[in-house]
Structure 1
Amino acid sequence: MEPQTLSLTNMRSSNTYSSKLHRDHTRTSNPPKFCIQLSKRTPKSISDGLQKDQRKDLSRILRTDAAVKGIVRKANSRKYQQLWPKAVLEALDEAIRENQWEMPLRQAEQASLLFEIMLSEGLRPTVDVYTALVSAYGQSGFFDDAMSTLDDMKSISDCKPDVYTYSILISCCTKFHRFDVIGHIIAEMSYLGIECSTVTYNTIIDGYGKAGMFELMENTLTDMIESGGCLPDVFTLNSIVGAYGKFGQIEKMEKWYDEFQLMGIQPDTKTFNILIKSYGKAGMYEKLRSVMDYMEKRFLSPTIVTFNTVIEVFGKAGNIEKMDEYFKKVKHRGIKPNSITYCSLVSAYSKAGHMKKVDSILRQVENSDVVLDTPFFNCIISAYGQAGDVKKMGELFLEMKERKCKADHITFATMIQAYNAQGMTEAAANLENKMIATKERSGGGGGGWWRFLAYWLGHKVNWMLAGCIVLKGQLSPMDGQLQFPKLVES
């Protein structure tokens, strides 16, 4: 089937090209004149055009930057009550693209504040607004507030909770292991005549599976099948197979994999990644390799996630030779390693005492455009700290700041332990004081962001946007079940 689709695509593009040529030819009454006009297009004019485009881009960037700074300045002032909508959305869109979620992410109190401002402006909340608020409370673990908001929804005629509201609430319950509440929620849905969706069932199955509650997980799958309207899909397969694999129940994992095959549910790359990780944890390396071979035969190319899993498995097992072999395959296939890849390599080399190879990885990273994160720096700082190279550890800590990676409690704890091990108690004490100061500073951040959001969102934007910012677009543990909305048109 694949070659046929590709062939049709090629034919379609070929026809489009030929028809364009024909139309252009018929419109051109004087071909020589057309050629003369083309010859006037000198390299200099092309260069000028590129320079103009670059100047235009630079001008746009500078205007946007100035506008965003102006927005923040106005938001911190009591004088201004109106904000420019385009600049606000551009600022939000840029923060989302750069993964800068720290300030606006899952702050239930700020979400509640936005909701109160909305009410004070005389705006009527919708089901989406209430659902976003329920989710904000639930994702922060404030279940009493979430339930209270749910009760408020029931008392408003045009804001009754729907399956989406309940699915989000169930997702929050599974996250915080409040499995005692799930039964009551399902009973309430049944009483209100709200049927569970596939996402609802998948959320419950995934939650029970991750908690090792296999009987309840299988019972929920039975309910899902017997409902008639919701059939298991690949997300269901991945949740159940992943649950048994996580807890080392390989036979059960294989049994359910076969069961889903009989149901006609085909595995995806994530399924095979789960199998590879499970076999690796169980030390069943032959089966791991057989899964890799099977993927190749089915033309399912292993992704960087697949290779990261294999590299991590062999690294933790201390099989450096096999780990290096698969890392070479990553390079030969033209797959770009990421920070997780390098983190696994550094961890394995460090445990094996191969510090020269850690140095080599560090050079590779410095000469690449890979985006490094806090876990990577924690890993490599730990490697040099355990090796007693506190000078290199300090250099990496400074580089971490330069790359705008925030140090967390693991970073500080690792460095303090390394300093104490070397008898550098004063340096350890100074770092501990710095850690406390950093924690205190980060406690009240994000005020400016939320004030300008609160001012402007109250007038212009669908309030579901605020909920999405709080939630980071999360509905359920399964990938691909909820897409984050695009805030600004490109």
Structure 2
Amino acid sequence: MSLGTKVHGFCGAIIPRVSGSSFSTRNSSTLTSRCSKPFVNGCSLLPSSRHTTTEEVPFSLYNRWIRHCCRTGRIDEAMSLVAEMDSLGSRPDSLTYVCLIETLAGLGRTLEADALFQEAVRFGPHGSNTRLKVRLYNVLLKGCLRKGQLELAVRVLGNMEEENIGKNQETYEILLDYYVSSGRLEDYWRVVNEMKKKKFQLSSFVYGKIIGIYRDNGMWKKALEIVEEVREMGLAMDVHIYNSIIDAFGKYGELDEALQVLDKMQASSDAKPNIGTWNSLIRWHCHHGALEMAIELFTMMQDQGLYPDPKIFVNLITRLGEKGKWDLIQKIYEAIKCRGHKDTGAIYAALVDVIGQYGRFHDVKGLVDKLKSEGLAPSAGLFCALANAYAQQGLCEQTVKVLETMENEGIEPNLIMLNVLINAFGTAGRHMEALSIYHHIKESGFTPDVVTYSTLMKAFIRAKKYEKVPEIFREMEASGCTADRKARQLLQSALMILDKRH
């Protein structure tokens, strides 16, 4: 069954259905039907008279061209070339498999990535190259977890064990990143202990995640103790740890302290602020209502040559829109245009239309076509940013249209998009539709994370269905997902109201 979304029921309950993208691109047109000649580093990858010499093209050139297409965002053309190689009795080399799988997984086309992965494992010419095999596994593992498909990720890890391929540092860090973001803390500590047992170094990335765990669970003093532990060990205070500290300060409203950490980073020679640093600072200043400083930070980030994250842009202009500051929204957008952000300018223009006009931009397909005409390749992240812009205003129909358009582009919905749908219906006061999305998540092989449960609890609180909140909370704990501070606050609010009723 193809990807699609149906709206059913008297309440307009949405029951999306997700299945894999078809592998039809493998049956695309042949090389001889193409009219554009590929070039890499100024050299043609194919003979000039391809209509007569196609069969003589060395397979090494096919591999180079496929990798070039992946790097330049032409994945469908790359898949067509794979089909041609297959028809000629050959397959991509190991490096090309890695490039293809990484690109497909990044676009949310995880089922195609998995199919290629299985092919690579079965036929790949990597032989005894364990290092390349681990890289293949890591690429697929990251794609599965990014989409929220924990069961598929567990299968990947099982295949690694069966082939006696050990996890490397990257494998562990991929797992740790997912377990923290999804609230699966028992799994997180299990992986940390496994790393210690196998004598892997606990890097600044790992310690940064540990600080984040304590931050999310209200253990501020413990987070600071970890910082001291890092210093005593002589481990460099790199950008990962600095970003975790900034995020911790921001979460608890200690904005001046967060800015002091920024000053230290800017004065440092080896831990300069990155996009994550600025995103965190802008997000928490918006959260605590310090919009003027958020705008100043937004400008400072661009002064350092960094492209604004569309999610942060949505957050900032949504806050300004709530206060009716349309002139500032337009001013921010004009400033971005003046800086010549050609690659991302179209998405910001679209978001201004959505937020600045409060959802009056109803033609979602037209909006996406506009982005494509500007040379912006559709991606899962782009669609999530658009959907989030509508969801924050409770515009359910438009959010659903974004999902449908995403599916029509051949991109599989990920857990982030489904969480956005729950938020859209919850914000609109349609809690039963929000609940149907949650059931769909579980039925479709996704693993709900702490954001899923918190957003669902919030939907029932908005609908004044407080008795349902403890039930959702218990279900979250039973799933192995550990509640963060926000989830516990939602539970406490619901219980207080229920106590007053009795």
Which TM-score applies when normalising by structure 1? Answer: 0.53
Counterpart amino acid of residue 174 in structure 1: L
1:380 shift after superposition: 0.6
2:72 equivalent to 1:103: no
Question: Are the counterparts in 2 of residues 347 and 379 from structure 1 also a CA contact under 8 Å?
Answer: no
Measure, in 2, the Cα distance between the counterparts of 1:390 and 1:231: 51
Which residue of structure 2 lines up, in the alignment, with residue 38 of structure 1?
none
2:170 equivalent to 1:199: yes
2:249 equivalent to 1:279: yes
2:186 equivalent to 1:215: yes
1:252 shift after superposition: 5.1
Match of 2:337 among 344, 366, 372: 366
% identical equivalent positions: 15
Measure, in 2, the Cα distance between the counterparts of 1:356 and 1:312: 21
Mapping 1:90-489, distance limit 5 Å: 99-101=72-74, 103=76, 113=83, 116-117=86-87, 120-121=89-90, 140-141=110-111, 145=115, 149=119, 152=122, 162-179=133-150, 189=160, 193-228=164-199, 230-242=200-212, 245=215, 250-251=220-221, 253-296=223-266, 298=268, 300-303=271-274, 305-327=276-298, 329-330=300-301, 334-336=303-305, 338-340=307-309, 345-373=316-344, 375-386=347-358, 400=371, 403-405=374-376, 442=409
1:224 shift after superposition: 1.1
Question: Are the counterparts in 2 of residues 127 and 159 from structure 1 also a CA contact under 8 Å?
Answer: no
Question: Are the counterparts in 2 of residues 277 and 309 from structure 1 also a CA contact under 8 Å?
Answer: yes
Question: Are the counterparts in 2 of residues 134 and 150 from structure 1 also a CA contact under 8 Å?
Answer: no
Question: Are the counterparts in 1 of residues 176 and 188 from structure 2 also a CA contact under 8 Å?
Answer: yes
Question: Are the counterparts in 2 of residues 276 and 291 from structure 1 also a CA contact under 8 Å?
Answer: yes
Question: Are the counterparts in 2 of residues 342 and 376 from structure 1 also a CA contact under 8 Å?
Answer: yes
1:212 shift after superposition: 1.5
Measure, in 1, the Cα distance between the counterparts of 2:389 and 2:143: 35
1:195 shift after superposition: 3.4
Question: Are the counterparts in 2 of residues 68 and 88 from structure 1 also a CA contact under 8 Å?
Answer: no
Which residue of structure 2 lines up, in the alignment, with residue 42 of structure 1?
none
1:249 shift after superposition: 5.7
Partner deviation per Cα, 1:88-129 (whole Å, 9 max, x = no partner): 8997787667x5355358x6xx687367346x14x7x76657
Counterpart amino acid of residue 103 in structure 1: D
1:71 shift after superposition: 7.0
Question: 3-state DSSP class of the match of 2:167?
Answer: coil
Measure, in 2, the Cα distance between the counterparts of 1:282 and 1:269: 20
Question: 3-state DSSP class of the match of 1:292?
Answer: helix
Question: 3-state DSSP class of the match of 1:346?
Answer: helix
**Number of residue pairs the alignment of both structures matches:** 359
Question: 3-state DSSP class of the match of 2:357?
Answer: helix
Question: Are the counterparts in 2 of residues 276 and 309 from structure 1 also a CA contact under 8 Å?
Answer: yes
1:319 shift after superposition: 1.8
Check 1:380–1:248 CA distance in 2 against 1; reply closer, same or farther (3 A cut).
farther
Question: Are the counterparts in 2 of residues 342 and 361 from structure 1 also a CA contact under 8 Å?
Answer: no
1:275 shift after superposition: 2.7
1:261 shift after superposition: 3.6
Question: 3-state DSSP class of the match of 2:292?
Answer: helix
Measure, in 2, the Cα distance between the counterparts of 1:93 and 1:156: 17
Measure, in 1, the Cα distance between the counterparts of 2:54 and 2:297: 58
Check 1:86–1:246 CA distance in 2 against 1; reply closer, same or farther (3 A cut).
farther
1:354 shift after superposition: 0.8
Check 1:114–1:249 CA distance in 2 against 1; reply closer, same or farther (3 A cut).
farther
Which residue of structure 1 lines up, in the alignment, with residue 437 of structure 2?
none
Which residue of structure 1 lines up, in the alignment, with residue 18 of structure 2?
none
Partner deviation per Cα, 1:126-157 (whole Å, 9 max, x = no partner): 66577678778976146985785477369997
Measure, in 2, the Cα distance between the counterparts of 1:129 and 1:351: 48
Question: 3-state DSSP class of the match of 1:103?
Answer: helix
Question: 3-state DSSP class of the match of 2:342?
Answer: coil
Q: Which sits farther off after the overlay, 296-305 or 376-385?
A: 296-305
1:355 shift after superposition: 1.0
Counterpart amino acid of residue 340 in structure 2: D
Measure, in 2, the Cα distance between the counterparts of 1:137 and 1:387: 31
Q: Which sits farther off after the overlay, 201-210 or 134-143?
A: 134-143
Measure, in 2, the Cα distance between the counterparts of 1:335 and 1:274: 21
Which TM-score applies when normalising by structure 2? Answer: 0.52
Partner deviation per Cα, 1:159-207 (whole Å, 9 max, x = no partner): 8884444444543453354545666766765675543322222222223
1:276 shift after superposition: 1.9
Measure, in 1, the Cα distance between the counterparts of 2:98 and 2:369: 43
Higher RCO (CA < 8 A, seq sep 6+): 1
Check 1:399–1:259 CA distance in 2 against 1; reply closer, same or farther (3 A cut).
same
Question: Structure 2: where are the runs of 5+ without partners?
Answer: 1-36, 412-502
Counterpart amino acid of residue 231 in structure 1: Q
Question: Are the counterparts in 1 of residues 100 and 113 from structure 2 also a CA contact under 8 Å?
Answer: no
Question: Are the counterparts in 1 of residues 180 and 213 from structure 2 also a CA contact under 8 Å?
Answer: yes
Measure, in 1, the Cα distance between the counterparts of 2:62 and 2:113: 31
Measure, in 1, the Cα distance between the counterparts of 2:152 and 2:404: 37
The higher radius of gyration belongs to: 1
Counterpart amino acid of residue 378 in structure 1: A
Which residue of structure 1 lines up, in the alignment, with residue 475 of structure 2?
none
Measure, in 1, the Cα distance between the counterparts of 2:59 and 2:264: 52
The Cα RMSD (Å) is 5.6
Measure, in 2, the Cα distance between the counterparts of 1:88 and 1:146: 16
1:375 shift after superposition: 3.9
Mapping 1:11-30, distance limit 5 Å: none
